[in-house]
Amino acid sequence: MALYGQRGFDQTTVAEIAERAGVTERTFFRHFADKREVLFGASHGLQDLMVGAVTRAPASAPPIDAVGAALQAWAVVLNDREYSRQRQAIVAASEELRERELIKMATLTSAIAETLRWRGVKEPIASLTAEAGIAVFRVAFARWVDPANRKELGELMRESLDQLRVAISA
């Protein structure tokens, strides 16, 4: 993260990352497919967390509440605001990383929609709910990493989800 912040993503090499970490390039590649995965490597665990939370939501829970449970699970894990700010700035500064982030979010959205379908939610409600959940996350996350914000991510997730409900019923 420090190298990306200092030199920029494009100018930072795997050799520099490995050297800073005190490992060989070969060891780096045992852990990461490429230098992008330093920023995105946790996405599989995140997907498992989110899908698990949707799966474990009470059977009687409306789809949006099941997704809300997943958002709250995410908020508990994503608790390092300064790291998140740094990561977000690095991603925002690189077209390649912005594209990668969109792909990862689309994959997560698909997994949530699939889990909702598994719960018996019909289309297009499953896909719409999954997309809405990711939109709630994006809005809450942007507010959370804003230096002027003092609220916690979980609170911002709840607020954003409530505001979505208001928008839908208006």
Q: CA neighbours within 13 Å on the CB side: how many for 132?
A: 21
| Confidence (pLDDT) at 40 | 84
Q: Which domains, ranges and CATH numbers included, belong to the chain? A: 1-35 (1.10.10.60), 40-169 (1.10.357.10)
In whole angstroms, what is the distance from residue 66 CA to residue 82 CA?
Answer: 28
Tens digits of pLDDT across the chain (170 residues)? 889 988 889 999 999 999 999 999 999 999 999 999 888 877 788 999 999 999 999 999 999 999 999 999 999 999 899 999 999 999 999 999 999 999 999 999 999 999 999 999 999 999 999 999 999 999 999 999 999 999 999 999 999 999 999 999 88
How confident is the model at residue 157, as a pLDDT? Answer: 96
Residue with tokens 């993260």: 1
Q: Quick count: other Cβ atoms within 10 Å of Cβ 48?
A: 11
Looking at residue 138, its pLDDT comes to 95
Residue 152 burial by Cβ neighbours in a 10 Å radius (0-12, 13-18, 19+): middle
CA distances from 135 to 43, 60, 157 (A): 17, 24, 10
Tokens at 141, concatenated: 């996350």
For 61, the token pair is: 């829970």
Which pLDDT does position 2 carry in this prediction?
87
Give residue 1's pLDDT.
83
pLDDT at 121: 98
The answer to whether 40 and 17 have CB atoms below 8 angstroms apart is no
Helix ranges (H only) for the chain are 2-7, 14-21, 25-31, 37-40, 43-56, 63-77, 81-92, 95-118, 125-145, 153-169
Give 75's contacts (C-beta < 8 A, 6+ positions apart).
140, 152, 153, 154, 157
pTM for the model: 0.89
